[in-house]
Amino acid sequence: MLAVTVFAVLSALLVCGKLLRLYVPFLQRLYLPSSVIGGFVGLALLSCFREHVPAEWIACAQKMPGFLINVIFATLFLGVETPRLGKIVRVAFPQLCFGQLLAWGQYVLGLGLAGFVLAPLFGVPPAFGNLLEIGFQGGHGTVGGMAESFRSFGWEAGIDLGLTVATAGMIVGVVLGMALVNWAHRRGYVREVRAFEERPAHERRGIHLPDARPAAGRQTVFSDSIDSLAWHVAIVGLAVGLGHLILLGLQHAEVALFPDAATRLFKGFPLFPLCMIGGVLLQLAVRRCGGSLLVDHGQMQRISGAALDFLVLSAVATIKIAVVAANWMPLLAIVLAGTLLSLALVVFLAPRLFREAWFERAIAEFGQSTGVTATGLLLLRTVDPENKTVAAASFGYKQLLHEPFMGGGLWTAFALTLVYTLGWRPVWILSVAMTVLWSAAAFAVIRRGRKTANH
């Protein structure tokens, strides 16, 4: 009955969040997701009545993000027809440079600020600096997926601190992102923007009209053989299982190859990046066997979206306020540093790096660098609702190269382990080197664009 109770409570909070978004104009103007609103309602209720809530309820809800992020990452490339690598690089390389600079810059700022300033002043561990990229680009799911990693290194408070950074990042991404959109509209950088007052009532409230409801994916199998949703959920389960087998294999291989090693890189390694690899392997196998028609990416997106809503809701609702209150100053410093970095790159680098639709492409990256991919897509749809620019294609292609490594990918998972095993300075130095490398790549793109323009 525990799972039933927790699921019912979380569902009630999600409905509450949607109803508040539906009837409170202020929340509509903020464009906050219903999952975040419901999460704040749950957090407020839990803070007031924590002594009356059974501990096992809270423990069960706290485990949900760590499980659901595996589902989200497993769906990333399932049902996707991947274009040729040459086309991806040609179309998305400037976008990739921008995204990589944001991600590596967050490590440079986060680890540098934590190692040189926050650790001596406030006594936080140097790994505090990892929270910037984990929380901003990775989001609630990445924090939840790395919960066991935090625990294995004896820093359980990192979970709540990471969730706080993720929540702050999502709010910053939406609120400041919309402010940037309005600024760009006034400057004439974008023309497709519709002000909040210009939107119809149903759009403000987040409701599709009955005669204009988009399809929630395509059914690929007849229901008399298996329900299409059940089929796609089963495919996701296989991808998660493959990821788990990969992790077990890596752990056993590490023990076999280095039996006397003092530290284990894969002991606290999270599962979710390997679920993404499991999904890629499964997609390649399906395509090779001629079964691509059986997997629809639209349905995968719905499964991922549902998992993300419940993930964010449970993550926000179960944040420990006492941990956040004890670390509010270093948290504020990290959040401000990440926000200023993203803002600076959008305003100063993007107009020079992108030859066309510079703001549309930059605002998508701003959203992802502060509040994960979903926020980036929200902001992009605001400035380019009909995909009239190259921004959507460029951002999508870039994700194929960016997502496996940063923002919850393999490097995000490894970086925390390396900080605890090698120390924060080597990871910081590597981050500086990668930032310099991608800065050089961006400069080459800018230089080539100027030469082309002059001719």
Q: Give, for all 455 residues of the chain, the pLDDT tens digit.
A: 788 999 999 999 999 999 999 999 988 888 888 998 999 999 999 988 888 888 898 889 988 888 998 998 899 888 887 767 777 777 789 999 999 999 999 999 999 999 999 999 999 999 999 999 999 998 888 998 898 889 988 999 999 999 999 999 988 988 899 899 889 988 888 877 766 677 788 877 878 888 878 888 888 888 889 999 999 999 999 999 999 999 999 889 988 888 876 667 777 788 888 898 899 899 888 888 877 778 898 899 899 889 989 988 999 999 888 899 999 999 999 999 999 999 999 999 999 999 888 999 999 999 989 877 778 887 888 888 777 888 888 888 888 888 888 988 889 988 999 999 999 999 999 999 999 999 999 999 998 877 666 65
Amino acid 308: pLDDT: 87
Which one-letter amino acid corresponds to residue 314? S
Amino acid 243: pLDDT: 93
Amino acid 112: pLDDT: 97
pTM for this prediction: 0.85
Amino acid 96: pLDDT: 93
Token pair listed for 154: 């004896």
The answer to whether the beta carbons of residues 432 and 105 sit under 8 Å apart is no
Residue where the block lists tokens 């496996």: 404
Amino acid 454: pLDDT: 60
Amino acid 262: pLDDT: 63
Q: Which pairs from 111-119 meet CB under 8 Å and 24+ separation? A: 111/419, 111/424, 111/427, 111/428, 111/431, 112/428, 113/333, 113/334, 113/337, 114/330, 114/334, 114/424, 115/424, 115/425, 115/428, 117/333, 118/330, 118/333, 118/334
